[in-house]
Structure 1
Amino acid sequence: MDHAIETDYLVVGTGAAGMAFTDSLLTHSDATVTLVDRRHAPGGHWIDAYPFVRLHQPSAFYGVESLPLGRDTIERSGLNAGYYERAGADDLRAYFAEVMAQHFLPGGRVRHFPCSEFLGGEAGIYRFASRLTGATHSVRVRRKLVDTTYLEGDIPATSPPPFEVADGVRCVAAGDIARIAERPGRFVVIGAGKTALDVCTWLLEQEVPASAIRWIKPRESWWLSRRFHQPHEGLPDFHASVGMQLQAAAQATSIDDLFARLEAEGYFLRVDTNVAPSMCRGAIVSEAEVDLLRQIEDVVRLGRVRRIEPDRIVLDEGSVPTDSEAIHVHCAARGLARPPLRPVFEADRVTVQPLFWGFACYQFALLGVIEACVESTEEKNRLCRPIHYWDRNADYPSAFLAMLASEQARAAHPAVSAWAREARLNPLGGIGKYRDHPTVARTREQFRQFGAAAAGNLAKLLATR
């Protein structure tokens, strides 16, 4: 039986994007919203995440605008000591469940259909089906479909390894190492991204000897220092990091030189200072994490793994031995997708895509505000020019240049800029409280001195790379 319903907005996906967008839409309009997700609860990839995962940014900058996440406290021990708290997977699942149950549904304007598969549609009529019962719903959408899945990527917890695994080889996803029953002779961590970094860090924190860890890294990565991404009294240094980037962007002679300048300032970090990184995905780490990871000396740099046999691991550029005592930890999923860019706003659709570097929930909430408060589709897209999720080194200056242009446009829009100045999720929204801080005063001078030159030089560097 096909059940017919009507709604102003049909939001596909109840991860951070769908939840933050919906929250802003509810706050700034009288719209009704229907939320559909294949998972059993809101939270997106956090539902499937490995048990020891944590946000790489402070909780203060994550979630939906209307409900703070966490207690806003500074951690006193561990690898995040001295920095603001970062929520873990259990915290995030509970948080998004509370947002749905206590903030969205009681108002009567939201309907939530978990365990449901979106089937598509056109001309304002869409369908989805329950994955449990097979029952289908036909939805007449009066305003727009909101697609938060366009850039959905693969994560190790839900994706098979992108390499062959022979019979008898022990190969598990990241989360499964927290549940192993027998101590392996060696942990072989496969991947160079944030998941692999988290796995190596967690193993070392559990007092696994560094000598018992082999790290297969197809690429070396740049990481952002957590020191420059803190709220409250950390905002002057956060603000200073923007001025630092402007000065480096204005003076750099190449993209490699840009990274070198910012590494010298401590803004960018790398685990192995003898290897030139070729990857930059924007993850934030602490100096303590990097120092800990440097204990791992058995690092294999022979490209991507092609197959694991009982006695060897075959890679692009050679092979290394393995044996039945080793447990191979698959951290090599594709990650975030990079399909062709499309307009964020269309007459009948919103396609969620990033607008600038990092702090995704602020961007998702911003899209909801602009959908609710700006009438013209052309004006909405002028304020929200999408970019690809970053991967290669050149994606950083490209994203930074796009941010300079888009921030200027949004700052000139009264309603959007007024919201941004007060938004909890805006990492620099509270900088006005520190306008007389000497670091902020120095940074304002950097903005004046290097802002225009940075944009011009970045465009030149990107054109000649």
Structure 2
Amino acid sequence: MNEELETDYLIVGAGAAGMAFADSLLTHSNASVTIVDRRHAPGGHWIDAYPYVRLHQPSSLYGVSSVPLGQNAIDGTGTNAGFYELAGVDEIRAYYSHVMQRHFLPGGRVRYFPNCDYLGDGHFISRLGQKSWTANVRRKVVDTTYTEGAVPGASAPPFEVADGVHCVPAGGIASITDRPERFVIIGAGKTALDACVWLLEQGVSASAIQWIRPRESWWLNRRFHQPNDLLPDFYQGMAVQLEAMAQATSIEDLVSRLEIEKFFLRIDPDIVPTMFRGAVISEAELELLRQIKDVIRLGHVRRIERDQIILEEGSVPTSEGTMHVHCASKGLSRPPLRPIFEPGLVTVQPFLWGFACYQFAMLGVVEATLDSDDKKNRLCPPIAYWDVNTDYLSAFLSGLANEHARAAYPDLAHWAKNTRLNPLCGIKLYRDLPIVADAHERIKRSGMAAVGNLVKLIRTKAA
């Protein structure tokens, strides 16, 4: 049975991007919205996440603009002590359910279809029953799946596993019943970091953990990514970045300057990282991770046998009493860039360096308040998700280059200055503090030089 329906916008995906975009449309227009999602509940990849995962940014900077997440509390214990709370997976799932059930649906302008596959041209079908729908979309389809990545908990390991080998995804270690002789963590990204930290926090000895890291990564220091009463440090971090960008003679020199200021962190001080995914950690987490000394750097895993792990550049022994933890996946996708705004279509992609939900929500405000796709695309040119050091420079430059242009549009500028998703929205409350006044002067001195030097460094690297 096929049912036809009318809607202004059809949003494909009820994850962070789709929910933030929908919230902005509802706030800044009178549009009707239909949300289609293949998962059973809103929340996107959080529905598939491992049970001990938390945000790596403060809760107050995540979610949809109109509904706060968390209590704006500062943690007093653990590796996040002294910083604003980080919502866990259960809290985030409950939050998105609350937004949908208590905020979106009661207003009568949103229709929500979980457990459905979108087939294109406004057509989607149920994964559970025999029903299908065809939406007459009056304005645009919003595709939030274009850059969707794979998470280890919901994807098969990218290597072969022989029969009899104990191999689980990251979430599997939270429910094992028989204590392994040791753990082998496979992966170099945020998931692997979380798994290692969680095991150490549970009392597992660092000597019982082997960590296979194909690449080393730079991490962002959480101290410089705090809102509210800790916002002065965030603002100081902006000054640190712009000064380094203005003065650096090479990308390597820039990265070195940021490490000296502890804006960038690395686990092994003897290995220069080549990976940059933008994940945020605390210095307390860093100290925990440095306890793990058994680190394998022989490339990616190709196959796990019962007695050995075969990698790209060699092999290491293993045993039947070892628990292998799959934390390897491609992560965020980097497909070819395309215009975000087109006739009848919005293809959600990143367009500035910064917090994800702030970007997604801003795209919704741009769509609701500006009158032409050409204008929207000039303000929001897409960029690829970051993976290597140069990507950090390109993304940061993109944000600097377009921030002034976006500020010329009153509705957009007013929203950006007031939304809780923008970490700098409250900086005016602290402008009289010496640390903020000092950072402001440093930013003024370095801003223009940073833009010019970033262009030079990126071009030199590409040559």
Letter of the 2:59 counterpart? S
Distance 1:436 1:304 in 2: 51
SS at 1:299's partner residue? strand
Structure-1 residue corresponding to 2:430: 434
Letter of the 2:225 counterpart? H
Structure-2 residue corresponding to 1:6: 6
Give me the TM-score of the superposition, normalised by structure 2: 0.99
Give RMSD over aligned pairs. Answer: 0.7
Shift of 1:316: 1.0
Does residue 396 of structure 1 match 2:392?
yes
Does residue 236 of structure 1 match 2:232?
yes
Decide which of 455, 458, 462 is 1:462's aligned counterpart. Answer: 458
Shift of 1:347: 1.3
Q: Which moved more, 1:350-359 or 1:317-326?
A: 350-359
CA deviation string 1:146-189 (max 9, x = no partner) = 00000000011111000111111111100011011111111000
Shift of 1:305: 0.6
Structure-1 residue corresponding to 2:285: 289
Shift of 1:135: 1.2
Distance 1:325 1:82 in 2: 39
Distance 2:297 2:130 in 1: 48
Give the alignment of 1:33-432 within 5 angstroms. 33-121=33-121, 126-432=122-428
CA deviation string 1:26-60 (max 9, x = no partner) = 00000000000000000000011000000000001
Distance 2:413 2:50 in 1: 37
Letter of the 2:36 counterpart? V
Instruction: Answer yes or no: is the 8 Å Cα contact 1:156–1:332 preserved in 2.
Output: yes
Shift of 1:358: 3.1
Give unpaired runs (5+ residues) of structure 2. none
Shift of 1:355: 1.4
SS at 1:187's partner residue? strand
Distance 1:214 1:143 in 2: 53
Instruction: Answer yes or no: is the 8 Å Cα contact 1:282–1:357 preserved in 2.
Output: no
Instruction: Answer yes or no: is the 8 Å Cα contact 1:224–1:282 preserved in 2.
Output: yes
SS at 1:429's partner residue? coil
Decide which of 444, 452, 459 is 1:448's aligned counterpart. Answer: 444
Letter of the 1:336 counterpart? L
Distance 2:340 2:389 in 1: 25
SS at 1:394's partner residue? helix
Instruction: Answer yes or no: is the 8 Å Cα contact 1:213–1:298 preserved in 2.
Output: yes
Distance 1:434 1:72 in 2: 17
Q: Which moved more, 1:271-280 or 1:430-439?
A: 430-439
Shift of 1:377: 1.0
Instruction: Answer yes or no: is the 8 Å Cα contact 1:282–1:358 preserved in 2.
Output: no
Distance 1:434 1:352 in 2: 34
Shift of 1:134: 2.9
Q: Which moved more, 1:428-437 or 1:189-198?
A: 428-437
SS at 1:338's partner residue? coil
Aligned length: 461
Instruction: Answer yes or no: is the 8 Å Cα contact 1:279–1:392 preserved in 2.
Output: yes
Shift of 1:139: 0.7
Letter of the 1:6 counterpart? E
Shift of 1:253: 1.0
Shift of 1:414: 1.8
Letter of the 1:62 counterpart? Y
Distance 2:76 2:439 in 1: 29
CA deviation string 1:52-72 (max 9, x = no partner) = 000000001001011100111
Give unpaired runs (5+ residues) of structure 1. none
Shift of 1:435: 1.6
Identity %: 64
